[in-house]
Structures are given as structure tokens and as C-alpha cells.
Amino acid sequence: MTAEEDAKLSKLGLAANATLVENRDLDGKEEAYLKEHIVSKLENADAVMSSFDEMSRVRIYRGMITNNKGTEAERTKEAIETYQRIGNWRLESAATVLTTPLKGEELLFKAMNSVVGGLDLYGHMVWGERLGDIASVVDHPVTVDEAKAIRMKMMEAVRLMQTKATEERGPRRYKQVYIIDCGEVSLGTLMTRPKVREMTFALLGSANAFFPETMWKCFIVNAPFVFRSVYAMVSPFIHPVTKEKIKILSGPSKFLPEMQHAGIELEAIPEQFHGKFQHLKLSDCIAKLAAES
């Protein structure tokens, strides 16, 4: 965090770095609530909670309790389910998720065109995808469950890269800016082939339940008008808090200024989305993380 970044944020009329809730540790009252009302209700609680690093432990609490909607009872119930679900997955798979080759992953990486950019003025990693030939994934065939496993691998890599960025820059940041380019999506195929539609929805939404509170901003770009109809089908499966962070925009003349106004400089936006950051392929980043682990 630098004074220069805060000066730029101020000119944009945006809050300073220090004001973000991401900065804050859980206070004594929150720690007590977590222990008494959530952890005490978990199965295999000690093992489940030990599976989380501190950033994830805080992030899930913020997502399910602090920033969530609903009654206290509803938020607490969702928090218990979320810690349990993610903890169980981490105990079973997290240690090997990056190093285990998965059927169809190269094909899926090609279809998703996933790339990593720089950091916004708050320190959130900017990454994105250009949806391509999802039908080829279905026809390979890759099953929905296999695609979900690959998506978990991708999202765990993104989480780890954001953690590394925080360690290098500070302060704590666990959210990312996500760009999804729909310019090459075949809406005809999406609308007429149920399996392609199911695969697309699975890829975009299946991992959300295991990586809550990781979205800072989401830009759906190069979105044709009819895409709003498709989005209307998907939106019921998107968490209400997440839905508020999503913007659907057309071409670069619309989405680039919108990103810049949100504190995402051109220098942080991947070249794939008309920015100036020489992006990295997410598949290459995963290979690097696997080698390091």
C-alpha cells in the first residue's frame, strides 16, 4: 500500500486502502461468536478449522456473518454449513489439488482462456476468462463433475496467488477482480444444447460455494443484448451479495472506463481485455504453484 495509490483513489472519489473491511482482524466479540455459535456446531471441528489459513478463516466469517444478508439465525446457519463444506473439501483434497492431473483440464483451459493480470489500486488481483468453445468440452467428453473438479483446481490457484500478492504488498486482501468476456460465446449453442448450458453454468458457478467472499468486482464484457436473458437464467444461482458486485457491459469503450473508475488501472488489466498488463496464462501459474509446492 502506498500514498500514491491512495491519492489516485481519492481523485476517483473512492475510499482509501485502510478503510476496507478486508484489513480488519476479527475482534474479541467476533472471535467469541465464531467459537460459540459456529465452531461448536461443526463435525470434527478441530480438524476442519485447522485446514484454513488465517486469511480464509477471516474471509469466510466476513462473507457469511459480517457482510451477508438475512437474519442472524440464517447467517449463522449458512456460516456453519460453509465452514463445514469447505473444511471437509480442504481436508480431503487441498493438499494435492494443484499437483494432481485431471482428465480434460488442458481442453478446459483452452476453452476458458483464463489469464492473470496485475493488481488494482487496493491490491486485488485482476484475472479473467474469455469463454470459448464449451461445446468441445462437452463433446470430448468431459463430465460436469470432472469440470467442477478442474474448476476447483483453478480457483484454489487464484486464491493462493491473491494470498501471495498480499504477502508481498500488504495489507490483507482476499478478494479479486474478475472479468469474463462473452464475445465468443455461441448463444445459439448455449440455448439449444442443454448439456452445453449445464456445463457453462457449472463452470461459472460450481466453485463459488467453496470460495465465498472472494469477489471484489465482476465485469461481464462484450456481452450481447441477448446475454441478459442468459444471465437471468443463471442469476438465481448467484449469492445475493455477489450479484450486487456484477456489471454487464458491452465493448472496450464501455468496460475500460468503468474499470478505471473502480480503481483498476489499464496497467493492471490483462492485454486479453485491451489492458496493458502482459498477462500470464492461469494454466502456467498452476504449473508453477504445483512445482513450488
Percent above pLDDT 70 for the chain: 97
Quick: pLDDT tens for 201-222: 888 887 889 999 999 999 999 9
Inter-residue contact 176 to 126 (CB < 8 Å): yes
User: Count of residues for the chain?
Assistant: 293
Q: Give me the pLDDT at residue 277, please.
A: 98
**Beta carbons within 8 Å of 221's beta carbon, 6+ residues apart:** 179, 180, 181, 182, 183, 249, 250, 251, 252, 254, 255, 273
- Burial of residue 150 (number of CB atoms within 10 Å: 0-12, 13-18, 19+): buried
**At what angle are helices 144-169 and 194-205 packed, to 10 degrees?**
30
Quick: pLDDT tens for 48-82: 999 999 999 999 999 999 999 899 999 999 999 99
Q: Give me the pLDDT at residue 238, please.
A: 73
Q: Does the pLDDT at position 181 exceed 80? A: yes
Alpha-carbon dihedral 264, 266, 270, 271, rounded to 10 degrees: 160
C-alpha cell at 61: 466469517
Average pLDDT of the residues in 157-174: 95
Instruction: Indicate the average pLDDT of the chain.
Output: 93
Angle at 212 (CA atoms; ends 265, 129), nearest 5 degrees: 45
Q: Does the pLDDT at position 158 exceed 70? A: yes
Q: Give me the pLDDT at residue 197, please.
A: 85
Quick: pLDDT tens for 80-120: 999 999 999 999 999 999 999 999 999 999 999 999 999 99
Q: Give me the pLDDT at residue 207, please.
A: 87
- Burial of residue 29 (number of CB atoms within 10 Å: 0-12, 13-18, 19+): exposed
Q: Does the pLDDT at position 225 exceed 80? A: no
Please tell me the distance from the alpha carbon of residue 258 to that of residue 105, in angstroms, as a whole number: 33
What's the pLDDT band for 191 if we cut at 50, 70, 90? confident
What's the pLDDT band for 226 if we cut at 50, 70, 90? low
214 compared with 237, residue with greater pLDDT = 214
CA atoms in the 13 A half-sphere facing the CB of 63: 26
**DSSP H or E stretch at residue 289:** helix 282-292
Q: Give me the pLDDT at residue 230, please.
A: 66
- Burial of residue 112 (number of CB atoms within 10 Å: 0-12, 13-18, 19+): buried
C-alpha cell at 140: 470430448
Average pLDDT of the residues in 24-44: 98
Angle at 24 (CA atoms; ends 22, 30), nearest 5 degrees: 110
